[in-house]
Amino acid sequence: MDKLWQENKPLLNLDAGDVFGTRTQNEREQTRFLCEVLGSFGLDGIGLGEQDLNYGLEFLREMTTQHGLPFINANVRETKTGQLILPAYKVVERNGVTYGITSVLDPQQQILTLTGGEGQFTVDDPAATLRELLPRLRKEVECVVLLAHMGETGTEKLLNEVQGIDICVVGHSFRNIETERVINDVAVFGSAYEGRFIGKANLFVEEKSGRVMAIDVGITDFDDKAPEDAEVLTRVEKFKQDLVAFKDARRAAYPRVHGSQEEQFLGDRSCFNCHEAAWQAYAASAHRRAYTSLRKDGQSSEPDCLVCHTTGYQYKNGYSDESPFNKLVNVQCEACHGYGTTHARDGKWRLQARNSCVACHDQANSPNFNYATYWEKIKH
């Protein structure tokens, strides 16, 4: 970006959406930081992706105003009011040419929010939306730019159905568009996800007509070879510390009060060699899926859930998301039997395990729990 700004040429700086992280509290914290940095990138328009509603509308609005992020969308409405949640388009002028930037979201992308409540948003048909909007927009501007949060195939279909677009940036796509592409007279660009790439297209735009001719397209890969920016690096380091503090504060409700620093959870694989039959029974049980169930719910970093869906959460050297303790996902052997480093052979481990169930199978989370019938399902 610095290099582009130094060239001092008229620049349209665009993002086609999915800026925000996944639906966990930790990633929401990370997203705050990302938005803060993104605010200094001087973006002209950001298309709304379904991910950008992961933390609800309030949060999106908060980020938009706090960091001046120009989110745009023409087809997502708040169900309750029927109103569009963002400006449908934005007009910018560069070197005597006026550009109208608009964006649509694929209705097939499910919008789920951490704040809950399904059906908060209604997504209008993108083609119908653009057919209505574009004739109006064209009266105002010379060149229409669409940020299509539709993936590659969805975008291609849309561009063949709608007239009046000059430039299109594809969002919700996992591939870079490495060379110049034209669909139905529209110059199409796109770079892949997670900010790992930045695409640059040199355009030649006819002043009167706003007619676009792309000259060349390039993709920059932010791999390990890309030099660090000293200022951003400092901010990232600082943020990492903040994130640790944030996680610790949230975890504080579940302190590691049990066990001993001298003991270790060895992981279910370590039992396999001597107890293969027990391991197979475990592998087929729901306990082996406990963490995956959280992932499905987007709750895999919630202390409120991890406490029962991982091994040794409140024990010293128990589960954490840092290696090597992150291997202690799911309800493994040692969640019931205890630290593998103190392998008991005097009947104590069997007894301890029989008493372990109710710590997790409590009234709130397992109302039908009955030792005999439940043991029957996981016996080994």
Q: Return the C-alpha torsion angle 233, 238, 241, 247, nearest 10.
A: -100
- For ligand HEC, the closer of residues 23 and 172 by Cβ is 23
Question: Does residue 304 bind ligand HEC (CB under 6 A)?
Answer: yes
Q: Which of 81, 255, 346, 363 binds ligand HEC (CB under 6 A)?
A: 346
Return the residues of window 81-140 that contact ligand HEC according to CB under 6 A.
none
Q: What does the alpha-carbon distance between residue 315 and residue 261 come to, in Å, rounded to a whole number?
A: 9
**Residue 276 lies near ligand HEC (rule: CB under 6 A):** no
Would residue 225 be called left, alpha or beta, if left means φ above 0 and alpha means ψ between -120 and 50 degrees? alpha
Quote the least distance from Cβ 23 to ligand HEC, whole Å. 11
Within 235-264, which residues bind ligand HEC (CB under 6 A)?
Answer: none
Out of 206, 226, 362, 370, the only residue in the binding site for ligand HEC (CB under 6 A) is 362
| Residue of 130, 195, 200 whose CA lies nearest to 166 | 130
25 in contact with ligand HEC (CB under 6 A): no
- Which range of residues in 28-36, 45-53, 71-79, 351-359 is near ligand HEC by CB under 6 A? 351-359
Report the C-alpha gap between 380 and 378 in whole angstroms. 7
Whichever of 196 and 343 has its CB closer to ligand HEC, that residue is 343
Looking at the Cβ atoms of 30 and 301, the one nearer to ligand HEC is 301
Stretch that binds ligand HEC, among 74-82, 171-179, 288-296, 318-326 (CB under 6 A): 288-296
Q: Does 298 bind ligand HEC (CB under 6 A)?
A: no
Among 263, 287, 318, 325, binds ligand HEC (CB under 6 A): 287
Stretch of residues binding ligand HEC (CB under 6 A), selected from 25-33, 74-82, 179-187, 364-372:
364-372
Counting other chains too, the contacts that 150-153 makes at CB distance below 8 Å and 24 or more residues apart are: 150/104, 150/105, 150/106, 150/126, 151/106, 152/190
Question: Which one of residues 77, 211, 275, 327 is an interface residue with ligand HEC (CB under 6 A)?
Answer: 275
Q: Per CB under 6 A, does 343 bind ligand HEC?
A: yes
CB of 58 to ligand HEC, least distance (A): 21
Q: Which stretch binds ligand HEC (CB under 6 A): 124-132, 146-154, 230-238, 307-315?
A: 307-315
CB of 19 to ligand HEC, least distance (A): 25
Q: From the list 286, 321, 326, 370, which residue makes contact with ligand HEC (rule: CB under 6 A)?
A: 286
Total residues in contact with ligand HEC, by rule CB under 6 A: 56
In three state form, how does the secondary structure of the chain look? CHHHHHHCCCCCCEECCCCCCCCCHHHHHHHHHHHHHHHHHCCCEEECCHHHHCCHHHHHHHHHHHHCCCEECCCEEECCCCCECCCCEEEEEECCEEEEEEEEECCCCCCCCCCCCCCCEEECCHHHHHHHHHHHHHHHCCEEEEEEECHHHHHHHHHHHCCCCCEEEECCCCCCCCCCEEECCEEEECCCCCCCEEEEEEEEECCCCCCEEEEEEEEEECCCCCCCCHHHHHHHHHHHHHHHHHHHHHHCCCCCCECCCCCCCCCCHHHHCCCHHHHHHHHCCHHHHHHHHHHHCCCCCCHHHHHHHECCCCECCCCCCCCCHHHCECCCHHHHHCCHHHCCCCCHHHHHHHHHHHHHCCCCCCCCCCHHHHHHHHCC
Task: Provide the minimum distance between the beta carbon of 113 and ligand HEC in the complex, in angstroms, as a whole number.
Answer: 15
Least CB distance from residue 298 to ligand HEC, whole Å? 9
Work out whether 314 is an interface residue with ligand HEC (CB under 6 A). no
Q: CB 341 → ligand HEC: shortest distance, Å? A: 8
Q: Report 323-342 residues binding ligand HEC (CB under 6 A).
A: 331, 333-337, 340
| Residues of this chain that bind ligand HEC (CB under 6 A) | 266, 268, 270-271, 273-275, 278-279, 282, 286-287, 289-290, 293-294, 297, 299, 302, 304-305, 307-309, 331, 333-337, 340, 343-350, 353-354, 356-357, 359-362, 365-366, 368-369, 374-375, 377-378, 380
